[in-house]
Structure 1
Amino acid sequence: MLQIKSNINYIKPLLIIILLSTGIAISAQNDTIRKQDIILQHQIIENDTLPHITLKEVPVLSPFKFKNKRQKRRYSKLVRNIKVTLPYARKASATINDINTNLSLISDTKERKAYLKKREKELFAEFETPLKKLSFSQGRLLIKLINRETGDTTYQLIKEYKGGVSAVFWQGIARLFGSNLKSEFDREGDDVMIEHIILMIDNGLI
């Protein structure tokens, strides 16, 4: 029992390094809604100009078919964990794009390193506490969701922003505790249940 607690306590700093290495700012509550001018398409019908709007496709989702009660309990647990971690992964994608945009404007190597260090320091100060609240299972789930939302594994992201040595080191630490930073999201295989839950959440069904 003590060993399990020790493992969980040790993996939390790992998760912080993983997420902050990619420059993730994680508070969905802090999102600012910007006002935008919306230009609508139009159609002219019998001398009248009418707005023409293409509606977003709405998928029709059927309830997940459970094989047994154990799978149903796993589904319920995943719903709770995905609602906690999905905003983190999606914020990761947006923030990584922002960082890459800024880096593209910086040609000097020292300035690029200084910029990344500054972002990491700011984010660590702001989000260290909420990240520590993640459970072990939520942390492992987040690694997969980051791959789903960004198209890159966490290992690839650390390697890109922190270097190959850091990526190899943290991958080794992660494997000691049953995690894999190279985990990829398989929406049609092992992660079909997770994909179903995400689609249900996105469509306001759960």
Structure 2
Amino acid sequence: MKKWAFLLFLALFAALSEAQAQGGHGFWHQEWAVEKGDSIPLVHVLPVYVFSRPVDLRRYRRLVDAVKKVYPIAKIARAKMATMEAELTRLPTKKAQKEYIKQIYHEIKDEYTPVLKRMTRTQGRVLLKLIDRETEYTAYEVLKEFRGGFVAGFWQGISKIFGQDLKSQYDKDGEDKMIEQIVIYYEAGLLR
């Protein structure tokens, strides 16, 4: 009996070592628990999505590709937003703040207009959600704060024409649960 338990443990250890050598694909992380003097590996397996229709699998893959493309942009938006807010509190007058906002606006426009023009609708929708996730402000709130209510309303109307919504909020436990899972995989380096 001890021989079989040892062989089973050896096989499990070899399988886990092989999975870790491959970069840990297939499981989230591993812990060890001690029960009655025995070390027991606890492996947290990644959830596997099973799709009944091929179209659902294609949509999921498109969503993964969209997150991989726009998540770095959302992280940059978070960093720029933090530096911008810090700089705005440092500036003494409203005029200096408006000049700074105008300067940052032109920098962002020059840098990201070519990138945004090549995005698909799915990527644009995911970017709006991820900006809300990272900055805790919807795109509409960001526009309203830094460019004014009229500009925000104008771009909200334009986005509605194209089937988007600048006021869409990120709901990690609801409709954006799959995006949240993909972001976690992306941050952990589990997406290729």
TM-score of the superposed pair, with normalisation by structure 1: 0.67
Partner residue in 1 for 2:8: none
CA distance in 2, matches of 1:124, 1:193: 30
TM-fit CA distance, 1:70: 2.5
CA distance in 2, matches of 1:64, 1:203: 18
Query: Structure 1 regions of 5+ residues with no counterpart?
Result: 1-58
Partner residue in 2 for 1:164: 149
Q: Which runs of 4+ in 1 moved over 6 A?
A: none
Query: Structure 2 regions of 5+ residues with no counterpart?
Result: 1-43
Partner residue in 2 for 1:119: 104
Post-superposition CA distance 1:66-112 (Å, at most 9, x none): 34333222111111111101111111111100000000001201111
Partner residue in 1 for 2:168: 183
CA distance in 2, matches of 1:182, 1:110: 28
Show the 5 A alignment for 1:62-77. 62-77=47-62
Asked whether the 8 Å contact 2:63–2:122 carries over to 1, the reply is no
Counterpart of 2:123 in structure 1: which amino acid? Q
Partner residue in 1 for 2:188: 203
Q: In the superposition, relative to structure 1, how do residues 193 and 132 fare at CA in structure 2: closer, same or farther (>3 Å)?
A: same
TM-fit CA distance, 1:64: 2.6
Task: Judge which range, 64-73 or 74-83, deviates more.
Answer: 64-73
Count residues in correspondence: 149
Question: Greater helix share, 1 or 2?
Answer: 2
Partner residue in 1 for 2:159: 174
Q: 1:105 aligns with which of 80, 87, 90?
A: 90
The 3-state SS of whatever aligns with 1:111 is helix
Asked whether the 8 Å contact 1:64–1:196 carries over to 2, the reply is no
Of all paired residues, the percent bearing the same amino acid is: 39
Considering only aligned residues, what root-mean-square deviation do their CA atoms show, in Å?
Answer: 1.8
TM-score of the superposed pair, with normalisation by structure 2: 0.72
The 3-state SS of whatever aligns with 1:104 is helix
Partner residue in 1 for 2:117: 132
CA distance in 2, matches of 1:188, 1:127: 30
Report which structure shows greater RCO (CA 8 Å, sep ≥6). 1
Asked whether the 8 Å contact 1:174–1:181 carries over to 2, the reply is yes
